[in-house]
Amino acid sequence: MKSFISVVTTVNETVGRICSFIIVPMVSIIILELLLRALLNHPTNWVHELSGYFLAAYCMLGGGYALLHKAHVNVDILYARFSPRRKSIISLFTWMLFFYFFIVVIWRTGEASLFSIKIWERSTSIWGPLFWPVKLLIPVGSILLLMQGISQFLEDLLFAIRGGK
């Protein structure tokens, strides 16, 4: 169980760190667009769409990393007052909702992604790039997030059983 947690943590840490570099090309093409528009009065028809694709990759693939580092929004009004062990026990129940949601997301977006690959779906914009790679990011990112959720569920389970040991 600890080796599973270690592998998932390493994968999400690595993917998250790699995803952080997506910001560089995204900002670069936006600056290029601003320069082309302002200096040459020649805007592009592809920067807006491509920057959206970069943002989708950044958000979807970075979800597991964000969960690993507890960067997602939490409502801690009552939860913050509980002991660490009680927090772990409560989390065990809330993880069930998380698992249900992400299993459905992976299933439905996986089907949509496979269909998109099958028909070699393209964007409807003038530029018209392939769209299936972006659609595929959703189930892949959701799998990373689900695996990190399972890892944290196991950590909460161990903590709830053993206490602070």
Structural domain spans, the chain: 2-162
**What are 87-116's pLDDT values in tens digits?**
888 889 999 999 999 999 999 999 999 999
HEC states along the chain?
A: CHHHHHHHHHHHHHHHHHHHHHHHHHHHHHHHHHHHHHHHCCCCCCHHHHHHHHHHHHHHHCHHHHHHCCCCCCCCCCHHHCCHHHHHHHHHHHHHHHHHHHHHHHHHHHHHHHHHHHCCCECCCCCCCECHHHHHHHHHHHHHHHHHHHHHHHHHHHHHHHCCC
pLDDT of residue 145: 97
**What are 26-46's pLDDT values in tens digits?**
999 999 999 999 999 998 989
**What are 52-73's pLDDT values in tens digits?**
999 999 999 999 999 999 998 8
**89 or 147, higher pLDDT:** 147
